Amino acid sequence: MQVVYDPAHVLHDPVTEVQYGVPMPMYEVPARAESIRLALAADENFSFADPTGHGLEPVTAVHHEGLVRFLDEAWSLWRAHGGGGSSMPAQFMPDTVLHPAMREGMDPAPEPSAAVGRIGYWCWETMTPLVAGSYQAARAAVDVALTAADLLLEGKPAVYGLARPPGHHCPRSAFGGYGLLNYSAAASAYLADQAGRIAVLDVDYHHGNGTQQIFYQRADVLYVSLHADPDRAFPYFIGWADERGTGAGEGFTLNLPLPAGCTNAVYLESLDKALERIAGHDAAALVVSLGLDTYGQDPIADFALSTDVYHEVGRRVAGLGLPTLVLQEGGYFVPKLGENARTWLRGLLGAPLDLRPTTS
């Protein structure tokens, strides 16, 4: 299997996120992607390819041009404001976020000119700081996904895009959830334009609210997600089972929320429902948003999946018989992340289960 990878991901390396009002070290770190890269490099089933540039058009096909423009300008704006210097943290996050109730019954808010106002206009939470290289890393991640999509269109049966920061939480007109640009959505729209109907299977612990929002009114892109019930888990306000799409997209969203402590058996039962729906979509290709934060030791999740079940998940996904683009999303238990990804991908390839020791 070809793996598309760009070392530019290391340019996005914030130090601190804020959860529940508490500053803490980032969970979304460059070591995540590097642990996967090392695990795959040690397995002869995988070879690496560099991404090629695809320009802005596939990005603005799924994102508001104003969002993309802000991300491009954000760090220089912050520096001009005095941020990123010795007296302030070398990262940039909002202290005020636009909430719809602020202007209820009024016209939409205009985008402010002040740097801190602009980031609160485009970012919806406090866990995704920007640093000097964030935009470059995010653009590189999109090119990883699109290059992997090109390889699929050329006839590869399965391709893996190893990218970060993750993107499936980014809707059309906002960023957050550790992500800046939704490369899974960009690749899905790109494939839909060139190949026809596409199915997206999102297996991240957290619901891919951004991908759902982008395709919620489209019938050509089916979005199916297995995730923690939003009644208890981030992103809280989207991902419910009764969200099925609207307009032309009605019936083309399927959410399968899962309970805390979700076991291998419960997960596989839900996976079979997801695969049955995908099989009925008559898709030309499948895009998998591969989150491995479903693992039982993940520090920000509460499922109980074991490494070996990832091989079975990959095997069952392969049973669809569809050209499959796998794009990395979450997964935050770094010591096991590389082995979990390798095991999932080996299942997809039809390679035997081959468990290896946990890395340091």
Catalytic residues: 169
Judge if the upstream peptide bond of residue 235 is cis by omega within 30 degrees of 0: yes
For residues 48 and 42, what is the distance between their CA atoms, to the nearest angstrom?
12
* Tally of CB atoms within 10 A around 226: 25
For residues 124 and 128, what is the distance between their CA atoms, to the nearest angstrom?
9
Helix or strand holding residue 328 (H, E): strand 324-328
Cβ-based neighbours of 316, under 8 Å, separated by 6 or more = 268, 271, 272, 275
For residues 72 and 69, what is the distance between their CA atoms, to the nearest angstrom?
5
Cβ-based neighbours of 307, under 8 Å, separated by 6 or more = 295, 336, 339, 340, 343, 355
In SS3 terms, 244-268 reads as: CCCHHHCCCEEEEEECCCCCHHHHH
Cβ-based neighbours of 134, under 8 Å, separated by 6 or more = 11, 12, 14, 71, 74, 75, 165, 180
Helix (H, G, I), strand (E, B) or coil at 185: helix
